Chain A
Amino acid sequence: AQRVTQPEKLLSVFKGAPVELKCNYSYSGSPELFWYVQYSRQRLQLLLRHISRESIKGFTADLNKGETSFHLKKPFAQEEDSAMYYCALTGHGGATNKLIFGTGTLLAVQP
């Protein structure tokens, strides 16, 4: 079954502390993995995708096929990072490219 699991509903850290948002997936094939972010009162937007191997706003995510994980990390959290984060996957090719989302993790960065 295709599934994305984000085990933490809420992650609270202090400003300057490291952040790791966990994401595990189940997919029979080679998925494409993404992180989406939703800031307060804003629309859902793409943060980063694993195929780009990019770092956005200091966040990085490494795809670990052995552990089927795609954890999102940032070495020093900022207050403006407070938001809802969703991990998502889609399959290679196919006619649909629909996204399968996790339930999200609310990151709260305390001053």
Chain B
Amino acid sequence: NAGVMQNPRHLVRRRGQEARLRCSPMKGHSHVYWYRQLPEEGLKFMVYLQKENIIDESGMPKERFSAEFPKEGPSILRIQQVVRGDSAAYFCASSNGQGANWGYTFGSGTRLTVV
């Protein structure tokens, strides 16, 4: 079991470009969570998805950010027209539906640098 796979590990984008971050959950997990960690801060919840559905996007910035978890393939976090303030580590976690009470499994994260 490869665990939660995130790619790329590191992503560099120029201001104004698009960033696409991918997350493949653990085998058997159909629930995906995205978190963002800004420098010197803790992880902040962004969005919770199940297959083909966004369940809670209360932590997503209102503009430029979107997430999807299609029936086939990985979950994608998309950031359009990136700005320097988007530079952060983005972590994905998956669960089998029991949620945080039974422990997420986290990926290794994608470190986005906007230059």
Interface residues, chain A, CB within 8 Å of chain B? 4, 6, 32, 34, 42-46, 49, 51, 86, 88, 90, 95-104
Beta-carbon contact of B91 and A95 below 8 Å: no
By size class, the interface of chain B is: 20 to 34
Beta-carbon contact of B45 and A103 below 8 Å: no
Most buried by B among A32, A90, A96: A96
Query: Which residues of chain B are near A104, meaning CB under 8 Å?
Result: 42
Beta-carbon contact of B33 and A86 below 8 Å: no
Contact with A along B47-58 (1 / 0, CB 8 A): 010000001100
Nearest CB to that of A48 among chain B residues? B103
- Besides A32-B100, A46-B103, A101-B42, 11 other A-B contacts (C-beta < 8 A): A43-B107, A86-B42, A95-B56, A96-B56, A96-B99, A97-B99, A98-B48, A98-B56, A99-B35, A99-B100, A103-B41
Beta-carbon contact of B103 and A32 below 8 Å: no
